[in-house]
Amino acid sequence: MIFTELVLHNFGIYRGRHVVDLRPQSVEKPILLFGGLNGGGKTTFLDAMKLALYGKLAECSNRKNLPYDAFLESAINRYSPPDEGAALELEFVASRAGAETCFRIKRYWRKASKSVTESIEVLEDGALSPVLSDHWALHVDEFIPQDIAGLFFFDGEKIESLADKRTSASIIRTGIYSLLGLSII
């Protein structure tokens, strides 16, 4: 699975539309690093990727104990026009049935009266897939199981905890159990 693009629209500190190319420079350099000052949007960027993939099951840094609707409402950029709402798009390439397939998840929401309405569309090789769109939460684990997403999406603080002998064993154990399907038991 290779992430190719992330689009943020009025999400967190990102006002307006921002398109980020995530394709690695080469096969020899497959890791992307993002740097910036505190408050520059690095963690918001990671949260956007997790939210695009997992929706209400995403473990976002600033969600705390908020209900999902309240979290989505709080994630809309406060300086954006109220009728625009917010949106995330995440595109990635994965092998499916032996062939490279391009997937694009489009998740968008806006405040409507006293509630938040959210929609999701999933495109497979550029065509809208009603089945994937309606049941994305069931299919996302084919690509990166939510239980081990923390091993793929991490910031500086996570690297620090992985380096700590006392906590790293637990994190790695959780990842291995998820990969083997033992987390279900």
> Average per-residue pLDDT in the chain?
84
Does 106 score more than 90 pLDDT? Answer: yes
**What's the CA gap between 65 and 47, in Å, rounded?**
15
Count Cα neighbours of 106 within 13 Å in the Cβ-side half-sphere: 10
- pTM greater than the 0.85 cutoff: no
Give the per-residue pLDDT at 160: 55
What is the rounded CA–CA span in Å between residue 46 and residue 54?
A: 12
pLDDT band at 16 (very low <50, low <70, confident <90, very high): very high
pLDDT of amino acid 143: 80
Between 30-34, 72-76, 146-150, the lowest mean confidence (pLDDT) is in 146-150
**pLDDT band at 77, cuts 50/70/90?**
very high
Which pLDDT band, with edges at 50, 70 and 90, does 149 fall under? low
pLDDT-derived band at 162 (thresholds 50, 70, 90) equals: low
Average pLDDT on 142-164 reads: 64
pLDDT of residue 83: 85
What are the distances in angstroms from CA 44 to CA 92, 97, 132?
A: 19, 33, 26
The pLDDT assigned to 175 comes to 62
* pLDDT tops 90 at residue 131: yes
Token pair 């300086």 in the structure block, residue: 79
Mean pLDDT calculated for residue range 70-98: 92
